[in-house]
Amino acid sequence: MVTKEPINKDEISLKELIERGKEWYVYLLSQWKIIVLVGFSGAALGLAYSFMNKPVYTATLSFVVEDEKSGGGLSGALGLASSFGFDFGGSGGNVFSGANLTEFFKSRKMVEQTLLTSVNLKGKVMTLAEMYIQNAKWRKDWEKEPKFANIQFLPNVDRKNYTRVQDSVLGVISANLTKFNLLVAQKDKKIGIISIEMNSGSELFAKYFAEALAKEVSDFYIATKSEKARANMDILVRQTDSIRGELNGAITGVAVANDNTFNLNPSLNVRRTPSARRQVDVQANTAILTELVKQTELAKVTLRKETPLIQVIDRPILPLAKERFGKAKGILLGSFLGFFLAIFIIINKKILTYLK
């Protein structure tokens, strides 16, 4: 006796699936007017958006980071100097190496200092912060807020004198730039070339900001990383000047003592003691001065080694690369989204009718 397995009514055969697909196809064809209308509306909106959307300019600045390990013949001179107890600060800080450097470019400190850099815009000197506010048209909204009405970021104003509101505004601008506009990256780990890309609706702002940011980081490095080497060099210069003064005084003292013993009786040698003492001072100070001059020159060489960090390869040159939401792209994207939205709404409406 052959038993038949019960048929699961919930299962849909391929034939039924094709039939239902045809039903949906016929239904969508019956709604073609709505679909086409919404599609054309989307294309019109996409075209309007392409007209309203402003072009975005990209300023690219590339630079190479100096290899601190490439000391060459200088390492031997530094070793000689260290044997005399002089430290010229040859080691580099971790903040200026590798991935840390790229993040340092995007730090709030560097971005805010860059925003306070003065630029000449059509004969008017202003800060980049003022230029950003002007491009963003924030002052129209600030007219309604008394605490923002008189806010200005004038050139050559000490940062310490800024109010809390000014600090807040600078913080917002800095956050916007680092999040949406600024990109600092090393394109290849095997190559030490790092590029800064600054995107903005203002061509001049993108160019000025990229150049000013590179300069701010470079200046900060010179002031920070070479601080110890500069301090040691200043100490050596002061010591050299002091010993040179002592040597000149000793030479003058020898001359005075010799004048006082001119035609002296040879039996009175005790009168020649001051001249002999001064001669010893001259010899001692000469030896000390010779060594200090050597160490001062080594310190100058070390300071020059520590000074360069960023060597700019390519600077942004006008006109900058421009990216714009094209008309054809707006029409195609808008029509596609319109057709998709119309079909989605029609299908959902049909499904809700079945469920009722």
Residue 80 has pLDDT above 50, yes or no: no
Say how many residues make up the chain.
356
Residue 62 has pLDDT above 80, yes or no: yes
* pLDDT, tens digit, 9 for 90 and up, residues 173-198: 999 999 999 998 876 666 677 889 99
Residue 214 has pLDDT above 50, yes or no: yes
**Amino acid 37: pLDDT:** 83
| Cα dihedral sign, 318-323-326-330 | negative
Give dist(CA 78, CA 49) in Å, integer: 63
Enter the DSSP assignment of 126. E
Beta strands 56-65; 193-200: pairing state = antiparallel
**Amino acid 12: pLDDT:** 62
Contact 229, 68 (CB under 8 A): no
Lookup result for tokens 């924030």 = 138
Q: What is the mean pLDDT of the chain?
A: 77
- Bigger pLDDT: 159 vs 191: 159
**Amino acid 74: pLDDT:** 41
Q: Is the peptide bond before 319 cis (omega within 30 degrees of 0)?
A: yes
- The CA–CA distances, whole Å, from 289 to 63, 87, 168 equal 41, 19, 55
**Amino acid 72: pLDDT:** 43
User: Would you place residue 172 in the very low, low, confident or very high pLDDT band (cuts 50, 70, 90)?
Assistant: very high
User: Would you place residue 169 in the very low, low, confident or very high pLDDT band (cuts 50, 70, 90)?
Assistant: very high
For the chain, how many helices (H) and strands (E)?
13, 7
* pLDDT, tens digit, 9 for 90 and up, residues 241-256: 888 888 888 788 777 7
Q: Which amino acid is at 342?
A: A
57-61, 181-185, 310-314: least confidently modelled range = 310-314
- Bigger pLDDT: 243 vs 13: 243
Rounded to the nearest 10 degrees, the angle between the axes of helix 273-306 and helix 74-83 is: 140
29-38, 54-63, 76-85, 185-194: least confidently modelled range = 76-85
**Amino acid 261: pLDDT:** 63
* pLDDT, tens digit, 9 for 90 and up, residues 88-133: 444 444 555 656 777 888 889 999 999 999 999 888 999 999 999 9
Contact 218, 309 (CB under 8 A): yes
Q: Enter the tokens of residue 117.
A: 């850099």
* pLDDT, tens digit, 9 for 90 and up, residues 252-310: 877 776 766 666 556 555 566 676 777 777 888 888 888 888 888 888 887 777 765 66
When mean pLDDT is compared over 66-75, 155-164, 297-306, the highest value belongs to: 155-164
Percentages of the chain per state (helix, strand, coil), in multiples of 5? 65, 10, 25
Q: Enter the tokens of residue 42.
A: 């989307």
- Bigger pLDDT: 245 vs 325: 245
24-28, 71-75, 175-179, 270-274: least confidently modelled range = 71-75
Q: Which of 311, 277, 347, 328 is nearest to 50 (CA)?
A: 328
**Amino acid 266: pLDDT:** 61
